[in-house]
Amino acid sequence: MGFWSRRKGVTDDIKETPDNCLNKYEEGKPVLPVEEPEKSTKKLKIPLNKTTSDVKYILKTIFFPCPICSEINTVDLSELDPIMGGETMCVHCQVVLHIPGGYLTHSEVPKLKVYAGLPVAVRKFPLFYWNHPVINDLEQQGITRIIIQYGLWGFCQRCHHQFSPAVLINLPHTSGEIVDYRSLSSEEMNEMKSLRAGCCPYCSHRILLVIISDVPHYVISASENLAHRWEED
């Protein structure tokens, strides 16, 4: 989809972790599984993603006002995956947008929304994530792991590099917390180290654009078939 070509060239130029993003990960630390924070802790009130459900169809295209700048965006339905939907950028204000696949398949349309990215400081991401009502809801249903496949998108606000949900959900609350690096690829490990120090590994920007969306029922019922898609390039 257009979004990917629009952001191309930004991440390609900048590969090295910048010096000003100090790496606080210590090699000698023992590796243990990450523990989820206490479920009984008081939930913080956090800002939620801005959304729009004002989505109209013209033939094979949908159009909707950007939840941030209200300018009209159009998306060709052929660019959407029936389950995963698609991500694009507002052509006017460049915010990241998530469009659920139900708009293509006409599933659960009255409940669907287009989501706009919310700026969240890298360091505040764990606090944001673990206090998010959608995540609390998935926890109560016992299906938190679905978030690896659907419902969480995180991009660097400046270079638009997309971080994998596996990296984001494993970011520890405090710099002293121990992280299990074994489940991560070497690229993800590198990203984790930089994000732990509070910044993007590619451009050292300190703010993410995050989307946490409701998980539609058609995604939950398809989730068993989704695992392989996640590995597709």
- Contact status: 96 vs Zn ion (CB under 5 A): no
Cα separation, 188 vs 208, in Å, equals 16
Q: How far is the CB of 33 from Zn ion (least distance, A)?
A: 28
Q: How far is the CB of 193 from Zn ion (least distance, A)?
A: 15
Cα separation, 92 vs 85, in Å, equals 21
Q: Lay out the site mask for Zn ion across 36-75 (x = CB under 5 A, - = otherwise).
A: ------------------------------x-xx------
Q: How far is the CB of 211 from Zn ion (least distance, A)?
A: 14
Q: Which of residues 125-154 bind Zn ion (CB under 5 A)?
A: none
Q: How far is the CB of 230 from Zn ion (least distance, A)?
A: 22
90-128 b/e (C-beta count within 10 Å ≥ 16 → b): beeebbbbbbbbbbbeebeeeebbbbbbbebebbebbeb
> Residues binding Zn ion: what is the number (CB under 5 A)?
13
Q: How far is the CB of 165 from Zn ion (least distance, A)?
A: 17
User: 77 near 60, Cβ under 8 Å?
Assistant: yes
User: 113 near 52, Cβ under 8 Å?
Assistant: yes
> Which CB atom, from 124 or from 158, has the smaller least distance to Zn ion?
158
Which of 156, 167, 179, 209 binds Zn ion (CB under 5 A)? It is: 156
**How many CA atoms are closer than 13 Å to the CA of 139, on its beta-carbon side?**
13
Dig out the tokens for 22 from the structure: 């100090």
Q: Which residues bind Zn ion (CB under 5 A)?
A: 66, 68-69, 90, 92-93, 156, 158-159, 200, 202-203, 205
